[in-house]
Amino acid sequence: MSIDKTSATPQDEHAVENPEAAAAAVTAVDPRLLVREQGLTGYIGEFKRKMKTGELGSLPVIIGLIAICVIFQSLNSNFLSAQNLSDITVTMVGTGMISVGIVFVLLLGEIDLSVGSVSGAASALAAVLAVNQGWPEWAAVLVAIAAGAAIGAAHGFFFAVLGAPAFAVTLAGLLFWLGFMLKVLGENGTINLDSDGLIGKLTTYFFSDVAVAYGLAVVVVAVFFISSFLGNKRREAAGVPSRPLSDTILRTVLLAVVSFAAAAMYNQYKGLPLATVIFLVFLIGTDFLLRRTSYGRKIFALGGSVEASRRAGINVTAVRISVFAISGGFAAIGGLFLASKIASANQSAGTGDLLMNAIAAAVIGGTSLFGGRGRTWNALLGVLVIVSIQYGLQLESIAEPVKYMITAAVLLTTVVIDSITRKTQKTAGRA
């Protein structure tokens, strides 16, 4: 017996003497266990914990969207009409695409100031090839997108390899590609596009059959439920915390309500817009890339700590260059949608408040300016806020200067919330 006592370690004795404390410690490791084990009480506790630790997620912007809808609908009953909402979701796609690329750059804690000029240069290049040179539009579109990605990769090279600050490199790119666009467009300065062509139909084509909108809603809801259910099963099999079935069902029901409401709204006007479908496909694809692949995890790791990522064996240079290439590619795609909206490529493309709105959309949607936190869905939420404000003020015939001031106030509020959130997380030991 004496041998057994002397062979016991201090940790073993502590575990025997304090089994309740040990069990409590295990439970405290992952608060998600509360959700699974305590039902509604667990959800409430998890919500309080997130609020205390600054994990606000997309809650502020969702509340803001609801407030925007309530305010403008009370001022003008046409704000929530099917036509106005459909116009908003089509108009937002061009800026939204550019903002998706900005999200990737912001996740690194960097900035890309060239995306507006790159979008204009890409639309001008596509217009010249398709209209002046007689190329097939699909080939012109591919070349324009490839050119955007190549431009972004070049910016990434100067930043990642030569060590130039991203701010300075992309500011130079803003000026250079603006000049390139003006040179390509020539003295006339405007190239009209075929409204019935590939580029023209990006924002003018609607699936008029009501079955298309409802069918897409069914597919989205079904895919979400199946992927969530199978994901939870894999987590359970691996012995790690997973969402309860009731939580998955609740989320699926909420998604179904939103999806079918959107389908009904679209069918009251012209039908499901092609632009919205393409945007959703890109959002789903990029979200999967960031959250479900090793490449996405490398981007988040770089946003958290470059040195730690380098020591972990991540090719920092390659990831940085690829991220700026993605930003340039999405800028080109956004430029094509913007050109489609006005059926032309002209000297004003990529200028004005486009750059500001693209960056603001990513930040307003919830992507951190400090790197390491964000999702491509943030671009959707942010651009919805911006375009909704613009359309609401337009319905009220508010002057353009006021639109700038209101958008600036929304952006400043979002940045302040982001800063406070980071401080709260640091205080709670989660940053």
Sign of CA dihedral 124, 129, 130, 136: negative
Do 149 and 326 touch, CB atoms closer than 8 A? yes
pLDDT over 80 at 418, yes or no: no
Tell me, what's the pLDDT at 6? 44
| CA-to-CA dists, residue 430 to 42, 49, 159, 174, angstroms | 20, 12, 30, 37
Mean pLDDT for 134-144 is: 94
Would you place residue 27 in the very low, low, confident or very high pLDDT band (cuts 50, 70, 90)? very low
User: Per-residue pLDDT tens for 260-318?
Assistant: 999 999 999 999 999 999 999 999 999 999 998 999 999 999 988 888 889 989 999 99
Would you place residue 378 in the very low, low, confident or very high pLDDT band (cuts 50, 70, 90)? confident
User: Per-residue pLDDT tens for 389-398?
Assistant: 889 988 888 8
Mean pLDDT for 25-48 is: 52
How far is the C-alpha of 86 from the C-alpha of 394, rounded, in Å?
15
Which has more pLDDT, 257 or 10?
257
pLDDT over 70 at 15, yes or no: no
pLDDT over 70 at 37, yes or no: no
How far is the C-alpha of 162 from the C-alpha of 396, rounded, in Å?
50
Which has more pLDDT, 235 or 328?
328
Tell me, what's the pLDDT at 20? 46
Range scoring the smallest mean pLDDT among 10-14, 230-234, 342-346: 10-14
Q: Which range among 230-234, 236-240, 400-404 has the greatest average pLDDT?
A: 230-234
Tell me, what's the pLDDT at 53? 56
* DSSP bridge partners of 272: 207
pLDDT over 70 at 142, yes or no: yes
Both structure tokens of 150: 């190549």
Tell me, what's the pLDDT at 348? 85
**pLDDT > 90: what percent of the chain?**
52
Tell me, what's the pLDDT at 54? 54
Which has more pLDDT, 86 or 372?
86
Tell me, what's the pLDDT at 1? 43
Mean pLDDT for 34-40 is: 50
How far is the C-alpha of 107 from the C-alpha of 362, rounded, in Å?
10
Both structure tokens of 229: 């259910």
Average pLDDT along the chain? 84
Which has more pLDDT, 244 or 118?
118
Both structure tokens of 95: 């800026």
User: pTM value?
Assistant: 0.84
Which has more pLDDT, 46 or 387?
387
Mean pLDDT for 48-74 is: 76
Mean pLDDT for 194-200 is: 90
Tell me, what's the pLDDT at 19? 47
